[in-house]
Chains A and B, each alone.
Chain A
């Protein structure tokens, strides 16, 4: 009630001032008033009522037709009030959804959390940034004593919540693989069967799985249609494609995944990524792998974590800070 009185008094004062001298100042006051009214969620039909009441005070002798005209205006604005309230309610719903998404994204971080292993002689950098709140990219490290460091990087075709839900399944399928099955082709073959049986036909997953043997310094790897990584040969300062052939996960339950090998010397690097990195769209179209190499080259002397951070920062800027796809990049560097 009190709010109503003060709003009425304010409105009446503004109207009176404007009647006296049609000043810009009064109009500005009216604009300020509408900000307060909107903040208090005053619906439009109430504003009509404010106007009518104020006029009845200031100009009681107007002809009856003028007062009748307000009935029509009131009726019309009540319908606008209907829409105004729906808008308010949709805003509240949107806020709730946003909060829920934030919680879901935290849950996802916990579910899919992996820590980058600290290994003597191997430096590792990893970064994964979702385009929206939920990440459809995934990477995972397993440090198997002094035997090996295993790394998985996967990308669900699609993004957002459906992709994120899919990823949780992959993570649990991977966790439940028997200890002895760390061989890259065996891992991909098992996961392929899981995906084929459990995921909608319209959804596909690409994955790269690598097992870095610490004693021999050989990277064994296999790929299920994943974006090819780079192998950087430190001695020659050259980048080679880490090519591996294999069908996407979930297409054919009998798919076989060939195992490849790459010997890694001191100063060499293995660079893995999701297609969010190579399909980084700029004003001139997708960036070329060559362009990406030139970016990596710029930071080549830095520790891997700094390289991935800086590349992300540069590519983010190149896309005007709007990621179109989830972005994941991992670098392993043999240091001794």
Chain B
């Protein structure tokens, strides 16, 4: 069962709205303050990428419940230029050298599951999940 809520990302203030949404859901699900901070940091990074590189997109939060395990999934969607070389943006240090996808490897490490799908010219779909322990 998934319940989804979304925030449109058009400007920098929407990043705050996306964080707020993520934090509320994380709190409701019972995540501790440290995990809340990690989830919102991940949301910030993903929403910022949309704002900076795609111009506009959506950030959605799913509540997951699989086999009695509760979790939170961040979905970042955009129809921007896409990422030609995903392996490259998933390399450490790539973002600091001024490329696309700032901090994607960092987001992956903050979360439990991470999945990215992108086609040049079509956009990017990133999903990252954190499970409640």
Which residues does A use to contact B, with CB under 8 Å?
45-46, 48-49, 52, 71, 74-75, 78-79, 81-82, 85-86, 89-90, 93
Separation of A85 and B41 alpha carbons in the complex (Å):
14
Q: Determine the residue in chain B with the shortest Cβ distance to A88.
A: B109
Beyond A45-B38, A82-B103, 20 additional contacts (C-beta under 8 Å) are A45-B34, A48-B34, A49-B33, A71-B33, A74-B33, A75-B37, A75-B40, A75-B41, A78-B34, A78-B41, A81-B38, A82-B106, A85-B106, A85-B109, A85-B110, A86-B93, A86-B106, A89-B105, A90-B93, A93-B92
Q: Are B33 and A78 in contact (CB under 8 A)?
A: no
Question: Does A86 contact B92, Cβ atoms closer than 8 Å?
Answer: yes
**What is the bound-complex CA distance between A48 and B37, given in angstroms?**
12
What is the CA–CA distance of A281 and B95 in the complex, to the nearest angstrom? 39
Identity of the chain B residue whose Cβ is nearest the Cβ of A89 in the assembled complex: B92
Chain B residues with a Cβ under 8 A of chain A? 32-34, 37-38, 40-41, 92-93, 103, 105-106, 109-110
Q: Provide the residues of chain A in CB contact with B93, threshold 8 Å.
A: 86, 90
Query: Given the complex of chains A and B, what is the CA–CA distance between A45 and B42 in angstroms?
Result: 14
Q: Interface residues of A: mostly helix, strand, loop or mixed?
A: helix
- Shortest distance between the CB of B78 and any CB in chain A (Å): 22
Bound-state CA distance A170–B70 (Å) is: 62
B101 to chain A, nearest CB (A): 14
Whether B34 contacts A86 by the Cβ 8 Å rule is no
**Are B92 and A79 interface neighbours, CB within 8 A?**
no
Which residue, of B32, B33, B103, has the highest number of chain A Cβ atoms within 10 A? B33
Residues of B within 8 A of A81 (CB): 38, 110
The listed residue (B37, B109, B110) touching A74 by CB distance below 8 A is B37
Q: Which residues of A contact B106 (CB under 8 A)?
A: 82, 85-86
Contacts of B103 in A (CB 8 A): 82
- Find chain B residues with CB under 8 A from A45 CB: 34, 37-38
A95 CB to nearest chain B CB (Å): 13
Chain B residues positioned under 8 Å from A46 (CB to CB): 34
Task: Output the nearest chain A residue to B106 by Cβ-Cβ distance.
Answer: A82
Q: Is the CB of B37 within 8 A of A78?
A: yes
| Selected A-B contacts with CB under 8 Å, 24 pairs | A45-B37, A45-B38, A48-B34, A49-B33, A49-B34, A71-B33, A74-B33, A74-B37, A75-B37, A75-B41, A78-B34, A79-B41, A81-B38, A82-B103, A82-B106, A82-B110, A85-B106, A86-B92, A86-B105, A86-B106, A89-B105, A90-B92, A90-B93, A93-B92
